Amino acid sequence: MLQTANRSVYDENHELFRDQVRKFFDKELHPHLDRWEKEEIVDRHFWTACGEAGLLCPTMPEEYGGLGLDFGFNGVIDEELAYAGSSAGITLQSDITADYFLAYGSEEQKKHWIPKLVSGEAISAIAMTEPGTGSDLQGIKTTAKKDGDHYVINGSKTYITNGQNADVVIVVAKTDPTQGAKGVSLILVEADREGFARGRNLDKIGQHSADTSELFFNDVRVPITNCLGEEGRGFIYLMNQLPQERLSIAIGAQAGAQRAFDEAVSFTKDRKAFGQRIFDFQNTRFTLADLAAQLQVGWAHIDWALSRHLRGELTADEGSAAKLWHTELQWRACDAALQLHGGAGYMNEYPVARLWRDARVQRIYGGTSEIMKEVIGRSI
């Protein structure tokens, strides 16, 4: 269990909420984790159950069915989900896509979609990455061309979280290919639109229970009113939302690192070699001591970054720095924890194996570590 007694960012209401989240996960998450890993998708029932329990999009205003809470409550969910070792895509909906609807959607779009996102009736995805384009969003090839009062969308996307389950997709497309970043728009595509197709559920190294898909758009017609916000401002919208997205990843990474550390401590204190506990070897204690110090610094930084975000002060470079530092810490912690398990760490029956597999992509999605350094470097 995560120890939160000395945290500075959360108040009593957050901790009461954390207790509710833990009880909910004990009932609705933990018993199904292994099955979801094998089936490579999370049941839709889990989404609606999360909605009923108030665990989806808690920051959304009450007028749209939300709880009107601060992002700290999202942070609680992010931490508990990552510590549980789950890659369920609910954090994408709560921390990323719902805010696009709230910040840029028309009143009609908000009233139609946000209550469904909050309840779990609708699952959302955001389609940025393409087969030939990773972090360089200005290089996307998907187009949305006007035809009367409709857009006609053509192109393909890949590595899309919630791709198999999604009912609505925020598609990043070029409405004016001649304008570079100024020609990028965000277009809503409902999953039942003719010409929209899902590819395979991608076979990943880790995060097996997170459905991640290819998406195809073949002359998909949507009304002009499906444009999210203003046409041509999509790139700006994406950049505006990145600090929260990267903070969300950093929070989950820190909790995942803590879980790996806790698993290593438990294992090394229980397992013996050469007549003594593995924990009693100096190398083990020094490895764990080093990780403990890094985790102490990490939690202090998460509280600092989250506090800044709650005040509306977290900058793009600070969000990037948080993602860089905490995902790299997660990888070091998971790799060291697996090593301390010895051969057992390579066995899927031990939680550390899943934690190690799932951690690897954290340094890639949401912007690679290399891109994070580029963003930070430009701010110096």
Structure tokens at 110: 């908000």
Contact 88, 119 (CB under 8 A): no
Structure tokens at 136: 């360089």
Closest CA to 250 of 304, 320, 308: 320
CB-neighbour burial class of residue 121 (10 A; exposed 0-12, middle 13-18, buried 19+): middle
Buried b (16+ CB within 10 A) or exposed e, 174-194: bbbeeeeeebbbbbbbebebe
List the beta bridge partners of residue 331.
none
Which residue type, as a one-letter code, is found at position 116? K
Active-site residues, by number, are 245
Query: For the chain, first and last CA: distance in Å?
Result: 38
CB-neighbour burial class of residue 228 (10 A; exposed 0-12, middle 13-18, buried 19+): buried
Residue 94 carries which DSSP code?
A: I
Structure tokens at 49: 């159950």
- Interstrand relation of 168-174 and 124-127 (parallel, antiparallel or unpaired): parallel
Tracing tokens 């909605």 back to the chain, one arrives at 51
At 250, which helix (H) or strand (E)?
Answer: helix 234-270
String of DSSP letters for 58-75: TTS-GGGTS----HHHHH
